[in-house]
Structure 1
Amino acid sequence: MNSSRRVFLFVVYSVGLFLLISVAGIFLGFEWMPFNRINLVGDLVKPAKDTTQTIATPDSNAIPVVVEKIPSKEFMLYRQPRLITDFNADTTIASMQEFLEKLQALRSGQKRKVRIAYFGDSMIEGDLLTQTFRQLLQQTFGGSGVGFVPIKSPVAKFRQTVSTSSTGNWEEENFKEGKSNHLYLSGHLFRTSGGSVQMTDQTVKDSTAILEKSLLCGPVSAPVNITVNNSSTTIHPNKPFNSVSLGNDASRFVKLGLSDPQLPVYGISFESESGVIVDNFSFRGITGIEFARIDSAFLSAVAQDNPYDLIIFQYGVNLLFRPNDKNFSWYARVMLPVVKKLRNCFPSSDFLLVSTADRAFRYGDEYKSAVGIDSLVKVQALLAYETNSSFYNQYAAMGGPNSIVEWARMKPSLANQDYVHPNHRGAEVLAHHLFDAIMRDLQKYTK
């Protein structure tokens, strides 16, 4: 092949490749700045007429959030600190009314459970925030027990609300290891042949309070033998999700031994017969999109046999891992179907999306809030807005820009020097803010 023909073919292949990328960029919606400058068909394709409204903010560097304007809704309410909003323009009307109705029934003396699932990352690891949130709710509305506890946890020794120890070999699958789509809400699944675990609930102060201790597990094809406090018994959990009673008495302690490695085990729950129960579902380093992996039919089975009245979703800090990131529209695209999926699987639950807290990076000679945090909070608010969920701006509740820096430098400090994580004192502050916001909403509801 002579050189002229090689040059000709090189030009043809190059133009063809650029044409293919240009067309793909238009119709698949991805962008890369070098190709934006030489898109071969960009001027031939006219964008569709925009029928939505862009909600702008004073931050010119932020990525605009585009929302559908609804006359009865006010999206900008997401910016209000310490307000739980369902974006109703009439702010005298309470959000999460079904949940509040159940709280009010408890306060009026009705005997029932009000169960809350609180999902999050390392911000609530070790029962941070949720331990205070649980305590405040149980003191106000009744209830006892720490709720759900996983079989094993990397922060088991750090957690103050329950003591946990295990023996034997426990195999684990979780969001980061294994391929199971039947992980529990905690993001974990455990199996063992001959292992044991013992737990003591350390939240209950009333020595006469009755606690039901329950094993939460998946199905197994044949009956299995387990030991509960050194006594042997046989169980046959055959539903997609099972809650097996291990005892219903004043004891805070339970020891469980298992011998069948086919039995998927999730954890043990400590719950009173009536009152508020708050389950902590923390998983370090995730953003919430991991729940797309869990089978919808399994989630629906959990909702049927272990229902929640309120589901709280608090993520975001792990999206702020690069100091100059500002565009989180990709997160909205991948997270929206996850929230919709959970809402469909838990149709009787109210949903509250909690924004990221503040986090800081070093810019020049000083630490400041991440430059993209306003953009991320707007995206998280949009997720709530578009799924008919309620929203709570944790970033604003902390104090807004540079609050994590101020918290870390207080005496005594409210945050760690990593400028990411509130410490125990800071977590208590955040829990009080959220509890107070719920109580203000309850006051609106009962007027």
Structure 2
Amino acid sequence: MKPYHSLVLLIYVTIILFALSYFAPEGVLSLNGYDLKVFRSKDLFPENTHTPAKDISAIVAIGEVDTAAVLVESDSAVAASLDSTKHQAADSTLTKELELDPNLRIQYPDSNPAVLYNFFAALDSIPTKHQLIRALHIGDSQIEGDRITSFLRHRFQKQFGGCGVGLVPIFEMTDARQTIEPRADAHWIKYAAYGAAGRRPIHNYFSPMASYFRFYPLRTVTRSDTAAGDSTPTFTTRSVPSVKAQGQWTTADVKYTISSRYYPLNGKVEQIKLFYRNEANPFELVVKADKDTLASEHFEPQTGLSVYQHNVDKTPRTFKFTFKGSYSPDVYGACFDCKEGIAFDNIPLRGSSGLEFSKTNAAFLKQQLNALNTRFLILQFGVNVVPNEVKSYQFYEDAFYKQLQILRAASPSMTILVIGLSDMSKRVNGEYVSYGNITKIRDAQRNAAFKAGCAFWDLYEAMGGENSMPSWVNAHPSLAAKDYTHFSPRGAQIVAEMLYKSLILEYNEYHHRKKRGLIQ
């Protein structure tokens, strides 16, 4: 056969297949356990099925952030905001849209708003009891970098008192956090109850951050960097912690650099706390504020959770903790707080679906929540569940409900708010649309929350519902990242503002009911 005959035959066969594919069935075919996406020629020339952009202007207006109100403007503005004992009246400047739109309202089991009353009562007790209460915001990578939490912290501390960034680990796997930078030296190893990062845990005495840290002596590792075909060998050496070498005297550092760039109250600290567990061997600790030594301590072994506390007269830019010992204690992290008010902690668990609390020793979890005086817990998970699309999410509802039961048992008086997952998009036929399982997962989270007696906030509906994420991504300036999953810093502020207003609306109504004698 001549070459041009082969070409004509190839074109002829292609035309026939192309024509047949026009009538191919839509969707996915299952064959021997495999799902096959059928190509259809009409997909190359789609009909007018373009999903219209979601109008989120009203949502953005409700959550709009006055940047000038939260950024540091002048010394006088900073001084005015640094009164950690400040406790203002309930915010009455809520928009009518928030009061009317059910998508922005917090939801309750059996429509009973008393679920939040313990937290509201704790807020009201701050001026009389002169205590520091704590809120934990635990979630997946959607809250990483202290984005949503930092604005909630700013809002609550400005109204109810408090300062500082709260609980921070020894180090983090990313450098995304803008409010404080933890930087540990090479001696440290992280043991986590979640994800692939870190070493396999030695025990289950985890912190609420689902991790603990230990320091070890270093050993030198040499790696060949010789390129293929290069006759001159090159090597790189680096120091890594050696678990087998424990028993040798070791000095390990962790340094925290505080930023007051975004919110002035981040830059004030009245009290530092170090949380650790040391049941075997003594160790020494030196604490420095900038270049000044605040304390030099020796700690003997003791049972259970230990808390080292030191008051700070003047907030430095950096705190440095130097540990010395032959065997490391379990170190959980440090708190940077005021002596009274509210602390709001950002605890991102990258890769988690919120199912790790059952891996923690129950009695130890209870001890930690009590030591932290935790009165409010926000759980925000779901983005890691979405990519695994299945027909039913009853398994996730049951597993998540179990976690909520564990947390309720650990601290019965602690208020728990579950935030449903946000919208996420995938590319289908050239455009970004919501994953088909978003509402199933959202419903599973809400069902679990209600069964456990917890409040629920529907972030998916609050941000606009189905196919709303592309509007957040394409906004000017952008409110979400190009992965069509995570909010940008500006988008995170809008989410935080919507949540704050939703909570303060309930707080206002709580006070209205008290005035009418409906709450004892």
| TM-score interval (norm. to shorter) | 0.7 to 0.9
Supply the distance in 2 between the matched residues of 1:407 and 1:185 (Cα, whole angstroms): 31
Deviations 1:142-180 (A, max 9, x none): 110100111010223x21101222224112211234133
Supply the distance in 1 between the matched residues of 2:181 and 2:474 (Cα, whole angstroms): 32
Tell me, what secondary structure is at the counterpart of 2:335?
Answer: strand
Supply the distance in 2 between the matched residues of 1:306 and 1:114 (Cα, whole angstroms): 8
Q: Does residue 1:233 correspond to 2:297, yes or no?
A: yes
Q: Does residue 1:297 correspond to 2:363, yes or no?
A: yes
User: Which has the higher mean CA deviation after the structures are superposed, 258-267 or 133-142?
Assistant: 258-267
Letter of the structure 2 residue corresponding to residue 397 of structure 1: A
User: Which has the higher mean CA deviation after the structures are superposed, 405-414 or 213-222?
Assistant: 213-222
Give yes or no for contact 2:273–2:309 (8 Å, CA) kept in 1.
Answer: yes
Structure 2 runs not aligned, ≥5 long: 1-31, 34-100, 216-249, 513-520
Give yes or no for contact 1:228–1:246 (8 Å, CA) kept in 2.
Answer: no
Give yes or no for contact 1:287–1:315 (8 Å, CA) kept in 2.
Answer: yes
TM-score, with structure 1 as normaliser: 0.77
Letter of the structure 1 residue corresponding to residue 312 of structure 2: N
Which residue is 1:66 aligned to?
Answer: none
Supply the distance in 2 between the matched residues of 1:119 and 1:207 (Cα, whole angstroms): 19
Letter of the structure 2 residue corresponding to residue 312 of structure 1: I
Q: Does residue 1:426 correspond to 2:485, yes or no?
A: no
Q: Does residue 1:368 correspond to 2:443, yes or no?
A: no
Question: Percent same amino acid among aligned pairs?
Answer: 27
Q: What are the within-5 Å matches in structure 2 for residues 145-184 of structure 1? A: 145-156=164-175, 158-174=176-192, 175-176=194-195, 177-179=199-201, 180-184=203-207
How many residues align? The count is 367
Give yes or no for contact 2:109–2:454 (8 Å, CA) kept in 1.
Answer: no
Which residue is 2:313 aligned to?
Answer: 249
Q: Does residue 1:197 correspond to 2:262, yes or no?
A: no
TM-score, with structure 2 as normaliser: 0.67
User: Which has the higher mean CA deviation after the structures are superposed, 312-321 or 224-233?
Assistant: 224-233
**Gap change, CA 1:207 and 1:392, over 3 Å in 2:** closer
Which residue is 1:81 aligned to?
Answer: 103
Letter of the structure 2 residue corresponding to residue 223 of structure 1: P
Deviations 1:361-407 (A, max 9, x none): 11222111111111111110001110011111111111111111110
Deviations 1:271-321 (A, max 9, x none): 101111001111111101122211111111112322200011110111001
Tell me, what secondary structure is at the counterpart of 2:356?
Answer: helix
Supply the distance in 2 between the matched residues of 1:289 and 1:114 (Cα, whole angstroms): 25
**Gap change, CA 1:440 and 1:168, over 3 Å in 2:** same
Tell me, what secondary structure is at the counterpart of 1:102?
Answer: helix
**C-alpha displacement of 1:210:** 5.1
**Gap change, CA 1:400 and 1:328, over 3 Å in 2:** same
Tell me, what secondary structure is at the counterpart of 1:442?
Answer: helix
Q: Segments of 4+ in structure 1 off by > 4 A? A: 206-210
Supply the distance in 2 between the matched residues of 1:368 and 1:414 (Cα, whole angstroms): 17
Q: Does residue 1:126 correspond to 2:145, yes or no?
A: yes
Q: Does residue 1:267 correspond to 2:333, yes or no?
A: yes
Which residue is 2:463 aligned to?
Answer: 398
**Gap change, CA 1:372 and 1:306, over 3 Å in 2:** same
Which residue is 2:46 aligned to?
Answer: none
Deviations 1:71-121 (A, max 9, x none): xxxxxxxx942211223436xx55400101122334x66622221011101
Give yes or no for contact 1:168–1:194 (8 Å, CA) kept in 2.
Answer: no
Supply the distance in 2 between the matched residues of 1:161 and 1:236 (Cα, whole angstroms): 33
**C-alpha displacement of 1:209:** 5.2
**Gap change, CA 1:254 and 1:208, over 3 Å in 2:** closer
Q: Does residue 1:223 correspond to 2:266, yes or no?
A: no
Deviations 1:49-81 (A, max 9, x none): xxxxxxxxxxxxxxxxxxxxxxxxxxxxxx942
Give yes or no for contact 2:164–2:266 (8 Å, CA) kept in 1.
Answer: no
Structure with the greater alpha carbon radius of gyration: 2
Q: What are the within-5 Å matches in structure 2 for residues 333-344 of structure 1? A: 333-344=398-409
**C-alpha displacement of 1:337:** 1.4
Which residue is 2:133 aligned to?
Answer: 114
**Gap change, CA 1:327 and 1:169, over 3 Å in 2:** same
RMSD: 2.3
Give yes or no for contact 2:165–2:345 (8 Å, CA) kept in 1.
Answer: yes
Supply the distance in 1 between the matched residues of 2:271 and 2:382 (Cα, whole angstroms): 34
**Equivalent of 1:100 in 103, 114, 120:** 120
Supply the distance in 1 between the matched residues of 2:433 and 2:311 (Cα, whole angstroms): 51
Supply the distance in 2 between the matched residues of 1:205 and 1:275 (Cα, whole angstroms): 15
Give yes or no for contact 2:164–2:267 (8 Å, CA) kept in 1.
Answer: no
Tell me, what secondary structure is at the counterpart of 2:506?
Answer: helix
Supply the distance in 2 between the matched residues of 1:306 and 1:411 (Cα, whole angstroms): 40
**Gap change, CA 1:329 and 1:206, over 3 Å in 2:** closer
Supply the distance in 2 between the matched residues of 1:170 and 1:89 (Cα, whole angstroms): 47
Letter of the structure 2 residue corresponding to residue 86 of structure 1: Y
Give yes or no for contact 2:279–2:304 (8 Å, CA) kept in 1.
Answer: no
Supply the distance in 2 between the matched residues of 1:207 and 1:336 (Cα, whole angstroms): 34
Give yes or no for contact 2:103–2:461 (8 Å, CA) kept in 1.
Answer: yes
Deviations 1:249-288 (A, max 9, x none): 2224321011233300011110101111001111111101
Supply the distance in 2 between the matched residues of 1:326 and 1:313 (Cα, whole angstroms): 24
Which residue is 1:13 aligned to?
Answer: none
**Gap change, CA 1:105 and 1:232, over 3 Å in 2:** closer
**Equivalent of 1:383 in 432, 437, 448:** 448
Supply the distance in 2 between the matched residues of 1:434 and 1:237 (Cα, whole angstroms): 43
Structure 1 runs not aligned, ≥5 long: 1-33, 36-78
Give yes or no for contact 1:94–1:441 (8 Å, CA) kept in 2.
Answer: no
**Gap change, CA 1:239 and 1:403, over 3 Å in 2:** farther
Deviations 1:332-365 (A, max 9, x none): 1222211101110112201111110111111222
Tell me, what secondary structure is at the counterpart of 1:104?
Answer: helix
Deviations 1:387-441 (A, max 9, x none): 0111111111111111111100111110001100001011001100110011000
**Gap change, CA 1:140 and 1:207, over 3 Å in 2:** closer
Tell me, what secondary structure is at the counterpart of 1:96?
Answer: helix
Give yes or no for contact 1:85–1:95 (8 Å, CA) kept in 2.
Answer: no
Q: Does residue 1:280 correspond to 2:342, yes or no?
A: no
Which residue is 2:208 aligned to?
Answer: 185
Give yes or no for contact 1:85–1:390 (8 Å, CA) kept in 2.
Answer: yes
